[in-house]
Amino acid sequence: MNDTRVQAARAEIAAQIGAYRDLVGAASKASGMSLTRIDAALAAFEPAFFNNLLVALDARFRDRLPHPEGGAVAEVRLLADSVLGHGGVLRASPAARHDADASVLRLDIGERIALNADDFEALCTAFLAEVDR
């Protein structure tokens, strides 16, 4: 894979994760709003943001990795397809074998996909390391 493309993806994703963490920090310091309301708003926003970031990550490399056999690349593809086509519930695919115990996130088929910052960061790191090989 083109190392420049992977490095650009790493930098852009790190910036997006950093922006999210800055938002969380600023919201926790905000005045005039109860912490309960801030926590509820962030809890609703976080999985939507990171699920969509996952779809964007997959789309960035989908044309270069048409049929992943396993590993983090296949996991990202399966998760992205499930977010887009199955309402965010992990579905099996005949194109990709899924072993929850060997996966980064350890999600089972039928589970709801609701990524948080740490989940996305771990999955993205594994994905980009595979793409870079």
d(CA 48, CA 67): 26
pLDDT at 33: 62
Burial per residue of 82-92, b for 16 or more beta-carbon CB atoms within 10 angstroms, e otherwise? bbeeeebebee
Question: What is the span of the domain harbouring residue 116?
Answer: 3-132
Domain count across the chain: 1
Smallest CA-to-CA distance from 57 within 77, 85, 87 is with: 77
Q: In a 10 Å sphere around its CB, with 0-12 CB exposed, 13-18 middle and 19+ buried, how is residue 60 labelled?
A: middle
- Regions of the chain with pLDDT less than 50: none
pLDDT at 34: 67
Identify the pLDDT of residue 133.
Answer: 83
Sign for the pseudo-dihedral over CA of 65, 70, 74, 76: negative
Cα-based angle 118, 106, 74 (whole degrees, multiple of 5): 90
What stretch of H or E contains 24? helix 3-29
